[in-house]
Amino acid sequence: MTATAYDVAVGARAELGEGPTWDPARERLIWVDILSSRVHTYDPATGRRTVRTTGQHVGAAKPRAGGGLVLNLRDGVGLVDPGPEGAFRWLHRDPVPGRRGNDAAVAPDGSLWAGTMRYDEAPGGGTLTRFTGDGAAEPFLTDVTVSNGTGWSPDGRRMYYVDTPTRRIDVFDVPDGGRQPVNRRPLAQVEEGAGHPDGLTVDADGCVWVALWDGGAVRRYTPDGALDRVVTLPVPRPTACAFGGAGLSDLYVTTARTGLAAPHPLAGSLLVVPDAGSGLPQPAFAG
């Protein structure tokens, strides 16, 4: 099924909007503009918006269990304390010249799975690392190119992952405990000419929604890898998606304008597809 119904949640000119995440404790959406080093929040009930500037490129921002945010930055993972002027400190600082943080996700156990990539997108130059609340870093993948969408099935027994240039959504089995997923295999392959898989989210039915960079769409795949829904969008570079709103039924989509010679007027805006499905409550980082 193909659908085209969408609204503009936040009209913006983000260079590289990314990482939408619903914060249930504060009933707001969090998203970032990576290249402008900004963390945005949006309250759909009131329309209230905030913007916080970070000192360097920020790939993702997620809620913390005790309030505040965890940030996947150029030089590592940092923490922001609660409040408009919340203090910043490093949880794990590991600067690598030419590399930055990209997408990240919080696992059911509260750990942060943070991806990196090289600015020049050199093959194998990125990583995927698991961070615990005390800052311990456990490398998981050390040879990815553009580490992107990561998510878990409703029962926590599967992990989904995108390394964008592969054009695949991969799936791992997650044994009890969840620290070392195993048995990596393709769930779905995005065909040539349809764009590249970017950020993803998993809904309450266990289906995977993935934004297609240069594909102008978000796709939903069933747990067995079948394509069963396409949401077409007016912008060529949707980057990531997440369910939000009071009932977790609205699908929010971040977009980008970077690299476009003649950006669409909505490129860089935060879009929303009302009543798109049923999302899963997302855990907060346990740090």
- DSSP secondary structure letter of residue 166: G
What is the distance between the terminal CA atoms of the chain, rounded to a whole angstrom?
Answer: 40
**Burial state string for 241-266 with b = 16 or more CB within 10 A and e = fewer than 16:** bbbbbeebbbbbbbbbbbeeeebbeb
- Collapsed DSSP state (helix, strand, coil) of residue 8: strand
Q: Which listed residue (163, 198, 203, 250) is catalytic? A: 198
Residues 97, 107, 220, 118: what is their CA dihedral angle, to the nearest 10 degrees?
Answer: 0
- Using alpha carbons, select from 128, 176, 133 the residue that is nearest to residue 151: 128
Based on the residue annotation, tell me whether 120 is a catalytic residue of this protein: no
Contact status, residue 137 vs residue 94, Cβ threshold 8 Å: yes
**DSSP line for 239-255:** EEEEEETTTT-EEEEEE
d(CA 183, CA 130): 18
How many angstroms from the chain centroid is the CA of residue 140?
Answer: 18
Active site residues: 198
